[in-house]
Chain A
């Protein structure tokens, strides 16, 4: 599978990364080089093989339903949550106005 400028532009838009036209042009051969290389995986016979789910056999632990059980994973810390915000007002994060 090889990508063209239009595809790369679409991927960049999906990934929300603005790219200029020259950047786009430069990326196409780079990405095609990498994609062509990873596509050698297609030659591996994987019939009957399950995709990896956990590298070390392990299943999901479930935690107890306790509010703020660990302060590190709990709420009630608005100042900490907003401390690094580029725009915080009245306890909210501010973003450019969104029209839904």
Chain B
């Protein structure tokens, strides 16, 4: 149970949140025409006669868009409707060439499903929570209006017009900004695993309509407002905070919440009523007579299911259960499909390089990736996508450590050089003479020198100041320029110090 409350003058208020997320379906061409969907093209170059709603133009649906929406539904354990239909949502706006959006109201493609957000004490999510998803339907995106190019005109670019969207509608199951943030992040993770949406929120591939209402705990739902097109997790959370506080102020001031569409201003972190949507809407939905019922057969559904990858929850459980990773590491590595993919490639390379089972090298690989490599990439302002070190190269580095050729601290040095030069770990170790010294004779000689030079400390140690052991290790490693095998150093020191 979320304990998030808005403290008002009249007591605590609970926030009720539902999200409608528009996720752009990953496809080459649009939902009902074959024009391209790529982001960033010159205005109106990716517009077909259909997208521009020329007289007599007709829609023909794209199989891939349907397939991706079905796979997404399967990934959230949702009911897939083998019989669905497209409806028209009628309204006039300059970014909507047909004067209606082809959407699905009465018979959506995907029905009831759910996703689980993980406990996060720090964020105020005490335990895992299941968020219900009411439906996913497929619809057309609108075009884009630009207001700043001309003093008296707005410009219309229809490149986005007709791009396929999945509208993923949650139940009003969230009770805090953190829960909503976690839901959006988790959904994004799932979409990226499935490959049905690239999740690029800054390019508008995922936009959230945030429904917020407040109530005294235990009372009926209050009137909600809908804030449109919020395009980052942080903004979603800000929208909720601001909107909840605003609503509490209104209610406590004796006012009423108006059911309305609002707009989030990222500059101020506030929301405001949207003028252009003031007109009370009557969308006059009815089945699109240009399209027939969409009937999916078992073979289609079977292919959709068979092509689903291992999903984040299953992967996380496997990382903990089979690979023995900590819950934290497993969560970090599965949070994004690319990270998990990189990790698994690294794991497989590292295991074969060391002749071990993946489970035996998993901890090493996970720890290195999370505590060493991410930091190093971060410093360079890079990510796994554009990492200068491939997973093959990283596996070689891990194998050098695993086999005792270099120590962990030398590995850090080697990684730095790898990032700079792009050379392989083996070549760097060879060239820089970084190979770890395991020759007992050489180490023994150095140990003897150090013990002799620090006779006072030796006697203190023997008197019981055992913490000095670390000092002797450090001195020996220093004398060996870090290349001594720490295990061998330990053994010799233990023997000599008695």
The contact of A75 among B27, B35, B151, B263, by CB within 8 Å, is: B35
User: Chain B binding site: helix, strand, loop or mixed by DSSP?
Assistant: loop
User: In the bound complex, how far is the Cα of B45 from the Cα of A54, in angstroms?
Assistant: 35
Q: Digitize A51-66: 1 where CB-to-B-CB distance is under 8 Å, 0 elsewhere.
A: 0011000111111111
Q: At the interface, is chain A mostly helix, strand, loop or mixed?
A: loop
Minimal Cβ-Cβ distance residue in A for B65:
A65
Report yes or no: B48 in contact with A89, Cβ–Cβ below 8 A: no
Q: Which of B45, B65, B92, B154 contacts A96 (CB 8 A)?
A: B154
Is A67's CB under 8 angstroms from B42's CB? no
User: Do B34 and A94 touch across chains, with their CB atoms under 8 A apart?
Assistant: no
Instruction: Determine whether B28 belongs to the interface, using a CB cutoff of 8 Å to chain A.
Output: yes
Q: Complex: how many Å from CA A72 to CA B58?
A: 11
- Residue of B whose beta carbon sits closest to that of A98: B154
Which residue of the partner chain, among B34, B263, B287, contacts A53 with CB atoms under 8 Å? B287
Alpha-carbon distance between A74 and B146 when the two chains are bound, in angstroms? 24
Q: How far is the CB of B267 from chain A (nearest CB, A)?
A: 15
B92–A78 touching, CB < 8 Å: no
B362 within 8 A of A: no
Taking A69-B34, A98-B94 as contacts, is the C-beta distance between A60 and B294 under 8 angstroms? yes
Chain A residue with minimal CB distance to B58?
A73
Q: Is the beta-carbon distance between B149 and A92 smaller than 8 angstroms?
A: yes
Contact A63 B94 (CB under 8 A): no
Q: Does B271 contact A (CB under 8 A)?
A: no
Judging by beta carbons under 8 Å apart, are B152 and A97 in contact? yes
For the complex formed, measure the closest distance between the CB of A78 and the CB atoms of chain B, giving whole angstroms.
5
Point out the residue from B34, B45, B282, B294 that lies within 8 Å of A59, measured CB to CB. Answer: B294
A99 engages B33 (CB within 8 Å): no
15 contacts between A and B (CB under 8 A): A59-B292, A60-B61, A62-B63, A68-B34, A72-B49, A73-B50, A74-B34, A75-B34, A75-B47, A76-B35, A78-B42, A90-B149, A92-B149, A92-B156, A94-B150
Closest 6 CB pairs of A and B: A75-B35, A92-B155, A62-B63, A65-B64, A93-B156, A94-B153
* Chain A residues within 8 Å of B, Cβ to Cβ: 14, 16, 53-54, 58-70, 72-78, 80-82, 87, 89-100
